[in-house]
Structure 1
Amino acid sequence: MYACEAEETTGRLWLWVRQTAREPYYVCGGCGISVRDVHSWTERRIRDLPWGTWRVWLVIEVHRVRCRRCGVRTERLPFVTRKAHSTTRLEAAVARDCEAAPVSRVALAWGIPPETVRRMDKRVLRRWAAARPRTPRRYLGVDEIYLGKRDKFLTVVSDLDTGEPIWVGLERKRETLDRFFAEALPPRRRRAVRAVCVDMWEPFMQSLRAHLPHARIVYDKFHVLRHVNDAVDETRRAEFFRKGGAARGLLRGKRWLLLRRWAHLERDERRLVKELLALNRRLAKAYLLKEQLAHLWDYTYEGAARRFLTTWLRALRWQRLPAFRKVAQLLLRHLDGILAYCHEKVPFGTVEAINGNIRAVLRRGRGYRDHQYLLLKVQKATAEHRRSLRAA
């Protein structure tokens, strides 16, 4: 530093700095080699971390050098990102605040425009992502998140080994997933994929069959059970309107109690469920069928799982439960993808956990229009969570 100026009215502190080496050398901004031949230089103002209540600005000399490989190029500075107007340590400090607060609040605290804060945070996240090792993608998860009436759906592709999203795209069409393979998974990296966990959305299936013909397609257990829960709820509503008097009063408000797994109920809740099922035979059959089907994913061998499902379907044949007949037709149409879990034990809960992380980041940031920025935020949050779990 060879000069300093303080502006008390604006609270700014200006520092003029330059290299002090006797024989200075510079780094080419193109290839990164050391260069001493200077073509020209100019002053550049960049913002640094504050000193107390003073907002610090650095005035530095930026040189254009003659590189024998690249020609005339601007030098590379180790503490400033190319074309940025802030130091990397200031960007890192702002990005740390963005992990726990929305951009608007961070911008107000630092006295920086919100769009500048967003760009700084994104640059830090990109540097963090670029420094991470690339691992082969063995198990993928494909799911969608409903964003609202404006943006509709967001398709999320995840790496189930690391538990992190690797790509997001607007809408849930075949073209959306085709774009993932074109942008994020080239043909040479697709050979490592062994299985894909996906719901039963046909456009996704068409894209997966076209790009990953060798990989097993495993249908998400929770999406299958959601259809079973819908059948239980439809049976409950039908019995609610069919029965009258005291039965209606007992069935009213018991929806979530009947949809929860028996193993997850407390003692008082189990007693209440027993009373409800004792009063209505059809509802008892529907609840029993739901509990039985959940054990399908406990099997290791495909033959045993197929026999279990055949027995379950036979038990359903003589029951007067039209909602479950629709479920039976659904299971028969997607039988291969359901039984594929016996060969590839993909972690179903990881997909739902990733969706939960994305919703948490969306709430914390009050929404994101830049989906690439959202992807980087969720990747960083997931990686930090996994690191804290390992440390504990």
Structure 2
Amino acid sequence: MFTAALQLPDPWKVSAVEFRDGADGKSELHIDIAFATGSRFRCPEPKCGEEARPVHDVRERVWRHLNFFQYKAFIHAGVPRVSCPEHGVHAVPVPWARPGSGFTLLFEAMVVELAKSQPVADVARQVGEHDTRSWRFIRHYVDEARLYEDHTGVEAIGIDETSRKGHSYITVVADLTERDVINVTPGKDANTVKEFSLDFMAHNGDPDRVRLVTCDMSLGFAKGIREHLPNAAKVIDKFHVVKHANEAVDKVRKAEARENPLLRRTKYLWLRNEANLTGPQLEVKRNLARRRSKTARACGMRETLQDIYADSAGRAEAEAGFKALCSWMMHSRLEPMKALAHQFRRHW
């Protein structure tokens, strides 16, 4: 039954199955696999023309397999080695695992699938393995898959950085046409864009053909785009523009709340669109706005910014609205809003 379940080809078969106590005291399933006596194997070198040869010797190996119900499962086998007159002594590949791996193909496939939707450390905990071991074979499959990446014709990309709790930044590059991630590189500066361009060329991409790059207002990205994607128009995406505006509004609120306690714990009244506020929340916001608060003025600037995105009929109208908004912010005597206007103008 286990031979059939594992889909073992000749000459392999299950020779023994038993439960044993693991290092943690819990029962584990151990499956012994053997090849038939007198079996012959070909040299594993791809271009070798030698006939199948007798076994030179055997090396015992163990692989972690998919769990059998609630029990960890392990496969044990003596891996045969053959002696080739041309290529020397080589281990024969087994059908259930990659050469050199301590896991079966099915176990690796399960972990890779889980890792698509959650952190590798969480997956490793679920399956009872150390995350460093899991990362080794995940990287193998990622590197293998990337060998077949072809970026010919990619002309529009999006660049964004992310981090976990403010540490270890990585930059993600996506093909905006196909909506596929095409590169992930450590860092978030001009050198990151350089590393992307080198990898891009290694996969048939042409940096000179990239016409559009969307990104945030990072000066490092701006420098990298100028130097390594010379023909690309840089577009600051709306998400990051509004994010910076929200941060500026909240800085105004925090400063004003030191003198006006009514503004405490009202952060999201000013950062959410009014359509997303409840009736009572909207009433509180309007009452505070009637007091001519600095926060209300800053919020009005943020809302004007969103109106420019939503209502402008074309580029000329949007630019005129944007210039007027920056002038308003510069003359507002609200330092966070003035700083935001300076930031916008640096990237205009």
Q: Normalising by structure 1, what TM-score?
A: 0.66
SS at match of 2:108: helix
Distance, in Å, in 1 between the alignment partners of 2:180 and 2:76 is 38
Q: Is 1:178 aligned to 2:184, yes or no?
A: no
Give the deviation of 1:202 after TM superposition.
Answer: 1.6
Distance, in Å, in 2 between the alignment partners of 1:126 and 1:277 is 56
Alignment correspondent of 1:196: 213
Alignment correspondent of 1:211: 228
Preserved CA contact (<8 Å) 1:64 1:74: no
Question: Which residue identity lines up with residue 247 of structure 2 in the other structure?
Answer: D
Question: Which residue identity lines up with residue 231 of structure 2 in the other structure?
Answer: H
Give the deviation of 1:331 after TM superposition.
Answer: 2.3
Q: Is 1:14 aligned to 2:19, yes or no?
A: no
Aligned match for 2:321, one of 282, 293, 308: 308
Preserved CA contact (<8 Å) 2:190 2:220: yes
Aligned match for 2:337, one of 324, 330, 349: 324
Alignment correspondent of 2:100: 83
Give the deviation of 1:62 after TM superposition.
Answer: 4.3
Give the number of the structure with larger relative contact order, counting CA–CA contacts within 8 Å between residues 6 or more apart. 1
Preserved CA contact (<8 Å) 1:28 1:65: no
SS at match of 2:101: coil
Q: Is 1:296 aligned to 2:308, yes or no?
A: yes
Q: Is 1:221 aligned to 2:238, yes or no?
A: yes
Aligned match for 1:274, one of 269, 272, 286: 286
Distance, in Å, in 2 between the alignment partners of 1:124 and 1:328 is 46
Name the % identity: 23
Which sits farther off after the overlay, 170-179 or 34-43?
A: 34-43
Alignment correspondent of 2:250: 233
Which sits farther off after the overlay, 4-13 or 252-261?
A: 4-13
Aligned match for 2:77, one of 58, 61, 71: 58
How many corresponding residue pairs? 324
Give the deviation of 1:119 after TM superposition.
Answer: 2.9
Distance, in Å, in 2 between the alignment partners of 1:86 and 1:239 is 59
Higher strand fraction (1 or 2): 2
Q: Decide whether aligned partners of structure 1 residues 316 and 180 sit closer, same or farther in structure 2, where only a CA change above 3 A counts.
A: closer
SS at match of 2:265: coil
Distance, in Å, in 1 between the alignment partners of 2:302 and 2:215 is 21
Distance, in Å, in 2 between the alignment partners of 1:20 and 1:50 is 32
Question: Which residue identity lines up with residue 278 of structure 2 in the other structure?
Answer: E
Which sits farther off after the overlay, 283-292 or 56-65?
A: 56-65
Q: Normalising by structure 2, what TM-score?
A: 0.73
Distance, in Å, in 2 between the alignment partners of 1:279 and 1:306 is 32
Q: Is 1:160 aligned to 2:176, yes or no?
A: yes
Unaligned runs of 5+ in 1: 243-247, 336-392
Q: Is 1:93 aligned to 2:110, yes or no?
A: yes
Describe how 1:334-353 pairs up with structure 2 within 5 A.
334-335=347-348
Q: Decide whether aligned partners of structure 1 residues 103 and 135 sit closer, same or farther in structure 2, where only a CA change above 3 A counts.
A: same
Give the deviation of 1:277 after TM superposition.
Answer: 0.5
Question: Which residue identity lines up with residue 17 of structure 1 in the other structure?
Answer: F
Distance, in Å, in 1 between the alignment partners of 2:114 and 2:160 is 30
Distance, in Å, in 2 between the alignment partners of 1:323 and 1:106 is 42
Aligned match for 2:185, one of 169, 172, 178: 169
Preserved CA contact (<8 Å) 2:80 2:91: no
Distance, in Å, in 2 between the alignment partners of 1:34 and 1:76 is 17
Higher helix fraction (1 or 2): 1
Q: Deviations over 1:207-227 (max 9, x none)?
A: 111111111111132332233
Describe how 1:106-145 pairs up with structure 2 within 5 A.
115-126=132-143, 136-145=153-162
Distance, in Å, in 2 between the alignment partners of 1:15 and 1:153 is 45
Distance, in Å, in 2 between the alignment partners of 1:211 and 1:19 is 61
Alignment correspondent of 1:388: none
Distance, in Å, in 2 between the alignment partners of 1:281 and 1:3 is 78
Give the deviation of 1:288 after TM superposition.
Answer: 1.8
Give the deviation of 1:282 after TM superposition.
Answer: 4.1
Preserved CA contact (<8 Å) 1:27 1:77: no
Alignment correspondent of 1:258: 270
Question: Which residue identity lines up with residue 279 of structure 1 in the other structure?
Answer: R
Give the deviation of 1:275 after TM superposition.
Answer: 1.0
Aligned match for 1:4, one of 12, 15, 22: 15
Superposition CA RMSD, Å: 3.9
